[in-house]
Structure 1
Amino acid sequence: MILAQITTSQDTADIVAESDAVSILDLLFQGGFMMIPILILSIMAVYIFVERVLTINKAAKTPEAFMGRIRDLVERGDISGAKVLCQEYDSPTARMIEKGIARIGSPLKNIEVSIENVGKIEIFKLERNLSLLATISGSAPMLGFLGTVIGMIQAFIAIAQEEGSVSPKLLSEGIYTAMITTAAGLFVGILAYLGYNYLVTRVQKVVHKMEYSSVDFIDLLQEPR
């Protein structure tokens, strides 16, 4: 009998706990209208991150033996073969070298300028939308703070309109609802900030590889024949 009462009491407590528990989805819906722009920013951040990762991975696929094969073709005088080899790879390094090969016979300074101009264009393509991701990392927390301030104002208005004593439940509900937007904004901002720094590091690695390849190609053209 006592065991049955304990079991019944435990079941009742579990039911009450489940009814009082608030899921994360419910909390997000209680965050108010400021959750809409935060949600939009989160979708944009995810899209930019995935799109940039795919683009950078594609740009970094130039094989290590690429410059060695270019060196062999140029030293044999097979300029057309070197161009065809560059066209086989859809990468910034290959496009830079292809531009330099197309300028062989021109002054070395002109070749360097041509390669540098192509490199600037390729770097711009790699860094596209990174500034927008950085903006999201800073604006999402600010929107969260704004939503919290608006929610606190609404909570205090509701408290002021209450007659008599204010229940702790009313006060706590208004405060935690207002804080939801801050938590959501910080979450989106932190993820966007981490994603931005990761992408910047990846872009820098590709740029260093481009610079090394261009210097190697210029050195090749300066070697005595």
Structure 2
Amino acid sequence: MLEIIQSGGWMMVPIIISSILALGITVERFWTLRAGQIAPRDLLARVWGWMKNNQLDSARIKELRASSPLGRVLAAGLINSRHGRQIMKESIEEVASHEIHEMERNLNALGTIAAVAPLMGLLGTVFGMIQVFSEIMTQGTGQANLLAGGISEALITTAAGLIIGIPALVSHRMLQRRVDEIVVFMEQEAIKLVDVLHGDREVADSSEAA
């Protein structure tokens, strides 16, 4: 394996660095973007319980804010609920925007690696082919084994770039899909909270829906 990497030339260095970054981002994001950790499905039901039992005080809101990103979104709405529906929605959207930004952290970098890694591999192959044709110009085509070996080495970078780029692209799409699903769920929960606190929905019905 080391010989293959060395034969790929200096373009293998950025490709290897890209592979390490892609792996690190993928593992970290899959671990962080766990739906149960970001948007627990029973969280809104707990808030309904606090409201019914008159337990929704500053301590509960502080606990809610510290529990999860969805908790911070709901807490922002609860804190501003007395200022009217529009202010409550704006405060939820402001906090939700920040939380979505955090969930999407490093996904652009992963997508960039998925797009650039094959191109770096192709660039390495182009450099390799230039060297091969330079050898043809100086030594002629009599040494077929040498030329075949040079072409094989030139193609190593393309293979390496594809090996990095394809999994990175798949991971990026999967992670982006996970973020989208979490965001939709958070929006639904926030809408339920707004509707209940401003009379458009009954708490009992919302609890059952949650």
Normalising by structure 2, what TM-score?
Answer: 0.88
Are the counterparts in 2 of residues 74 and 82 from structure 1 also a CA contact under 8 Å? no
Give the corresponding residue for 1:83. 61
Give the corresponding residue for 1:181. 157
Give the corresponding residue for 2:181. 205
Secondary structure at 2:112 match in 1:
helix
* Alignment of 1:154 onto 2:143: no
- Equivalent position amino acid for 2:6 in 1: F
Deviation at 1:78, TM superposition (A): 2.9
Q: Mark the runs of 5 or more structure 1 residues left unpaired by the alignment.
A: 1-23
* Alignment of 1:50 onto 2:24: no
- Equivalent position amino acid for 2:149 in 1: E
Are the counterparts in 1 of residues 66 and 72 from structure 2 also a CA contact under 8 Å? no
Cα RMSD of the aligned pairs, angstroms, is 1.9
Distance in 1, matches of 2:32 and 2:15, equals: 26
Tell which deviates more after alignment, 165-174 or 79-88.
Answer: 79-88
Deviation at 1:129, TM superposition (A): 1.2
Are the counterparts in 1 of residues 81 and 87 from structure 2 also a CA contact under 8 Å? no
Percent of counterpart pairs with the same letter?
35
Distance in 1, matches of 2:11 and 2:128, equals: 9
Distance in 2, matches of 1:166 and 1:149, equals: 22
Give the corresponding residue for 1:29. 6
* Alignment of 1:136 onto 2:113: yes
Give the corresponding residue for 1:108. 85
Distance in 2, matches of 1:152 and 1:189, equals: 22
Deviation at 1:88, TM superposition (A): 5.1
| Inter-CA distance 96–84: structure 2 relative to 1 (3 Å threshold) | same
Deviation at 1:58, TM superposition (A): 6.8
Rg (Cα) greater in structure: 1
Are the counterparts in 2 of residues 59 and 206 from structure 1 also a CA contact under 8 Å? no
| Inter-CA distance 88–134: structure 2 relative to 1 (3 Å threshold) | closer
- Equivalent position amino acid for 1:131 in 2: N
Distance in 2, matches of 1:216 and 1:85, equals: 20
* Alignment of 1:126 onto 2:103: yes
Distance in 2, matches of 1:219 and 1:75, equals: 16
Distance in 2, matches of 1:65 and 1:182, equals: 48
* Alignment of 1:220 onto 2:196: yes
Secondary structure at 1:79 match in 2:
coil
Q: Pick from 157, 164, 172: which aligns with 2:148?
A: 172
Deviation at 1:61, TM superposition (A): 4.9
Distance in 1, matches of 2:10 and 2:130, equals: 14
- Equivalent position amino acid for 1:180 in 2: I
Are the counterparts in 2 of residues 60 and 206 from structure 1 also a CA contact under 8 Å? no
Distance in 1, matches of 2:15 and 2:163, equals: 10
Deviation at 1:144, TM superposition (A): 0.6
* Alignment of 1:194 onto 2:188: no
Distance in 1, matches of 2:55 and 2:44, equals: 14
Tell which deviates more after alignment, 151-160 or 118-127.
Answer: 151-160
| Inter-CA distance 196–190: structure 2 relative to 1 (3 Å threshold) | same
Normalising by structure 1, what TM-score?
Answer: 0.82
Please list the CA deviations of residues 93-151 of structure 1 after superposition, one character each: whole Å capped at 9, or x if unmatched. 10001111111311111011000110010000000111111111111111111100100
Q: Mark the runs of 5 or more structure 2 residues left unpaired by the alignment.
A: 203-210
